[in-house]
Amino acid sequence: MPKLPYIVHITERSLWEAARERGAYEMSTRGRTLQEDGFVHFSTRDQLPRVAEFLYGGYDGPDQLIVLVVDPARVGAPVKYESAVPGGEEFPHVYGPVPVEAVVDVETWG
């Protein structure tokens, strides 16, 4: 079975630090939780610049922005590529908490 490519998620450092203490990351997207959306939004490496601009363009918050690099094989929850509209661009979604062990790298953004 071919190895799935890593997926990425942009977030604020404090949210990642809190997740490390809990053992799992549960923010879906900026200002929304897994419980609210039902999944955690991810992107591919190619999609990341557009997603970052959409979510954090002009960001001047107190936290540094980081990118979580996740190995989908380590997530332990369904990973589905879906689009918001029929025939639209598909983005990876993780249908459950992301264990900290699934995060293979943390990169700074910006």
- 1 part of a folded domain: no
- 46 part of a folded domain: yes
Least confident of 2-6, 43-47, 54-58, 91-95: 2-6
Residue 1 scores a pLDDT above 90: no
Q: Output the pTM of the full model.
A: 0.94
Q: How far apart are CA 85 and CA 106, in angstroms?
A: 30
- 66 part of a folded domain: yes
- 13 part of a folded domain: yes
Location of structure tokens 């053992």: 23
The total number of structural domains that make up the chain: 1
- 25 part of a folded domain: yes
**Virtual torsion, Cα 40, 23, 69, 6, nearest 10 deg:** -70
pLDDT digits (tens, 9 = 90+) for 7-42: 999 999 999 999 999 999 999 999 999 999 999 999
- CATH number of the domain at 53, please: 3.20.170.20
Question: Are 11 and 55 in contact, with CB atoms under 8 Å apart?
Answer: no
- 2 part of a folded domain: no
